[in-house]
Structures are given as structure tokens and as C-alpha cells.
Amino acid sequence: MSKKITKPCAAATPTSVPPFVQSAAVMIAPAPMKLSANVPASSASSRASAFSTTRLLPELPPALMTTSRSLPASQLLPAATPPTAMRAFTHDRWTFPLQPGNRFPQEKYRLVRERVEQLDAVELLEAAPIAWSDALLVHDAEWLRRIRYGLLTRREEAALGLPWSPELAERTLHATGSTVAAARAALADGAAAALGGGTHHARRSVGRGYCLVNDVAVATALLRADGYRERILVLDLDVHQGDGNADCFAADASVVVASIHGARNYPFERILGDLDVDVPDRTGDAAYLALVEGLLSECAARGPFGLVFLLAGADPWEGDRLGRLALTEAGLVERDRRAIAWVRQHDAALCVTLAGGYGEPIETTADIHARTIALAATPPELLPAAR
């Protein structure tokens, strides 16, 4: 059972927009946009007065945006009183001890949840944790025994980048449960999100890079156990190649694993998925977005899909400690807008996970993640179509 989180009362009026969403509005304001064909312009423009467009961040150059009809930035954001809120699942209450200097951004998950609490178009919940037997649908029994009971070697802990503790094992179950719940909610509602997840370095028999259990693979296995049979796309936009996803789905022709990532970044020993795009260091917005467009075209050729897992990592940002790319915040908003619009254009359900994000200040990374959730919660008729 999912537990609903009561959002704190705020002094703001019902039509106010959180600062991080105002920033997103400004960044995508110059975009020449296109309304969905079945929605009259008046039904969208009537919401324009509900949102601020205060200039807080640099704009993305219009040349990088989809060319069509121009709409106010406010129309790209969730309506103040949406008919149905998108469900998002959080697990940030479950924490674990970290040694001083560890680079895992545990605080990020609380900060993202606090920002998402401000979105009227999102219903925030806590999901039930998975059982160890659920993880066994994907992972080797010996690996699960080792992470459950703290039997990891020093080398395995070093590869994880995390010190083992009972709290870490418990958090892993809750984090994976968030993605499972979000996947089921996406199939029921059209879109949902996990405020975490995207543990794409967890292979069947070993975990690495902060990833113990592969949440997307476990969620897929449980959906199959539920009777879901449509094809699934794993669209991985994290800056690091999804070797764990490639490993877990290697023998599953019903799942397409697509990843766009830094060419010279972690992991240095890779398992290739179905579609892999290497991006040179310091690539900026324009070149990166062109590569995303190409990847989406390749994905379309492998479809159709009933469900898309979107691993919307914030780590391609130019301020990320582990990213090595040079995307601006505006470029990341446009990346997410294009990916989400593409999913909707192809009539697939959307399940968003956060994946990586290690930038400083950590508040900016949380802003980037929260804007992704805001875009995913935008009603389809207000989100411009992909090219």
C-alpha cells in the first residue's frame, strides 16, 4: 500500500509557482511551441495568468528550440488546479550512514521532495518496499545475500562507493519500491515518477557506482508478473552509460535499452545496450540536443512501446562534479521537454526516475530534478509536441 504525504501549508496563493519552476518557465519562454491539434488555443491560454515569468536564469537560444507556434512559458507548466495530479513516490525518510567526504548526494532526495511538495500538479506518496524475493526475479541469489547481510568485500564496497550498513540495505528496498509503484501508476494514469531510482549500474550479479539493486529491471519483472506484455523502452539520459540495464535486459528482446552518455566517463568497462550514444567531453546544449533527437529517432524505429522508463539524470549539467559535459540548466529543461513530448507523441506511459546528479550547490541539482518532475506532470495538451 502507498502512503500519501500531506503537503505542508504555505503562505503562497494557490496560483503561485515555486521559484525553481519560475526559472524553468523563463528558460523555455523563447521556444516557438505548438499546441496539440485537439486542444483549442483558448483552453491553454486561459491558464497563462496563473504563472510568473520573472527572469531568473539565462534563456536557451531560440535556435535550439522546436520551431512552430509560439506560446507563453506559463503554458508549459502544470495548471494550478489540475483535474488529476501525477503521482510521485518518495523514500527520502530512509537514510544510511556515510563516512565524511563520501560524494553520494543523500541530501538531494530530501531537497527534491521538498520542491515537489510545492507542485499542485503532483500527489506525493510513499510506496511499500519490495521484498528480497522480488529482487531475486532479477539478481543472483548470492549477490542479494551479500548485500542483505553485509558480506561484501572491501573491493565490492569500494566499487559501490558506499559503506554497507543495515540502513543501506533497507533503503535499497524502499527506493526500488518507489520505482515499482511509479511504474504501476504510470500504466494506470499515463505518467508517474519515482523521486530516486535509476540505479543503472546494478548488474545481475554485482552492484557498482552507488547501485545495489536495479530498480528498473525489478519493476519490469514485477510488471511482467502482473501480466503486462507490451514492449518497454529504457531511455537513459544519465551522463554515465547504463551498463547494469544492458546486463539485466541482455536476454529480453521485449525491452530496448537506449543510453546517451559521456564517452570518456564511468563505467570504463561497459556492457553495451541496444542503442548507445557516446558524447565527447564538454559537449554543450546544441550538439547534445541534436544527439538526443537522433537517439529518439532510433528509438522510434524500435517501437512501438507501451511504457518508457525515463532516467532523467541531472549530471550532464555543466556544474556537475562527475559529469564532464557542458549542458546549461536551460539545455536540460529542453532535453526533458523533448523526451517527455516524444513519449507522449508515441502514446506510451511514462515512468520518470531521477538517476544521477552530483552538482554543487546541491540545491541547483535538486532544482534540475524538480523541473523534470514538473514537466512530466504537465498535462499533455500543454506540452509542445516533439519534432
Q: What is the DSSP string of 322-372?
A: TT---B-HHHHHHHHHHHHHHHHHTT-EEEEE-----BSSHHHHHHHHHHH
**Would you place residue 119 in the very low, low, confident or very high pLDDT band (cuts 50, 70, 90)?**
very high
Q: How many residues does the chain have?
A: 387
Do 333 and 314 touch, CB atoms closer than 8 A? no
Give pLDDT tens digits for 208-246.
999 999 999 999 999 999 999 999 999 999 999 999 999
- Rounded mean pLDDT, 81-97: 86
Is the model more confident about 314 or about 381?
Answer: 314
- Nearest-angstrom CA–CA distance, 186 and 220: 12
pLDDT, residue 356, reads 87
Cell of 167: 540502513
Q: Give residue-wise pLDDT tens across range 265-274.
A: 777 787 989 9
Of 318, 315, 299, residue with least CA distance to 307: 299
- The reported pTM is 0.82
Average the pLDDT over each of 12-16, 102-106, 303-307, 374-378 and give the range with the smallest value: 12-16
User: Can you give the pLDDT at residue 296?
Assistant: 97
Please state the rounded mean pLDDT for residues 160-164: 96
pLDDT, residue 386, reads: 56
Residue 383 makes CB contacts below 8 A (sequence gap 6+) with: 76, 337, 340, 341, 344, 375
User: 157 and 210 in contact (C-beta within 8 Å)?
Assistant: no
Cα angle value 262/268/270 (rounded, 5°): 90
What proportion of the chain, given as a percentage, has pLDDT over 90?
69
Mean pLDDT is lowest, of 8-12, 179-183, 270-274, 341-345, for 8-12
Whole-angstrom distance, CA of residue 344 vs CA of residue 329: 23
- pLDDT score of 143 more than 60: yes
Residue 18 maps to a domain: no
Torsion angles phi and psi, residue 12, rounded to 5:
-70, 160
CB atoms closer than 10 angstroms to residue 152: 20
pLDDT (mean) for 373-379: 95
Separation CA 212–CA 150 (nearest Å)? 12
In the predicted structure, residue 86 carries a pLDDT above the cut 50: yes
Inform me whether the pLDDT recorded for 142 exceeds 80: yes
Measured CA to CA in angstroms, residue 227 lies from 118, 245, 322 at distances of 35, 21, 39
Lowest model confidence (mean pLDDT) among 40-44, 79-83, 192-196: 40-44
CA angle 10, 11, 17 (to 5 degrees): 75
Q: Measure the N-to-C terminal CA separation of the chain; round to a whole number of Å.
A: 39
Q: Does residue 22 belong to any structural domain of this protein?
A: no
Task: Give the whole-number percent of the chain exceeding pLDDT 70.
Answer: 77
User: How many beta carbons lie within 10 A of that of residue 291, not counting itself?
Assistant: 15
The predicted pLDDT at position 77 comes to 35
Please check whether residue 260 lies inside any domain of the structure: yes
User: Which tens digits make up the pLDDT trace of 260-303?
Assistant: 999 887 777 879 899 999 999 999 999 999 999 999 999 999 99
For position 320, what pLDDT does the model report?
A: 83
CATH number, position 275: 3.40.800.20
Q: What pLDDT does 269 receive?
A: 82
Which of 34, 61, 53, 69 is closest to 331 using CA atoms? Answer: 61
| Mean pLDDT (whole number) for 145-163 | 96
The set of cell numbers assigned to 252 is 529480453
- Average pLDDT over the chain reads 82
Distance CA 352, CA 311 (A): 6
Q: How far is CA 30 from the centre of its chain?
A: 24
Residue 117: give the domain boundaries. Answer: 87-382
**pLDDT of 23:** 53
Q: What is the pLDDT of residue 349?
A: 98
pLDDT band at residue 344 using 50, 70 and 90 as cut-offs? very high
Q: How far apart are CA 258 and CA 241, in angstroms?
A: 9
Residue 150 has pLDDT above 50, yes or no: yes
pLDDT tens sequence across 172-211: 999 999 999 999 999 999 999 999 999 999 999 999 999 9
pLDDT of 347 above 60: yes
Q: Where is pLDDT greater, at 10 or 340?
A: 340
Q: Does residue 20 belong to any structural domain of this protein?
A: no
Q: What region does 146 belong to: left with phi over 0, alpha with psi -120 to 50, or beta? A: alpha
Q: Got the DSSP string for 284-298?
A: -HHHHHHHHHHHHHH
H-run or E-run covering 301: helix 285-302
pLDDT band at 16 (very low <50, low <70, confident <90, very high): low
Residue 265: its pLDDT value, please?
A: 76
**Residue 61: inside a domain, yes or no?**
no
- For residue 214, is it within any domain? yes
Instruction: Kindly state whether residue 156 falls inside one of the protein's structural domains.
Output: yes
**What is the per-residue pLDDT for 357?**
87
The number of distinct structural domains making up the chain is 1
Instruction: Report whether pLDDT(57) > 50.
Output: no
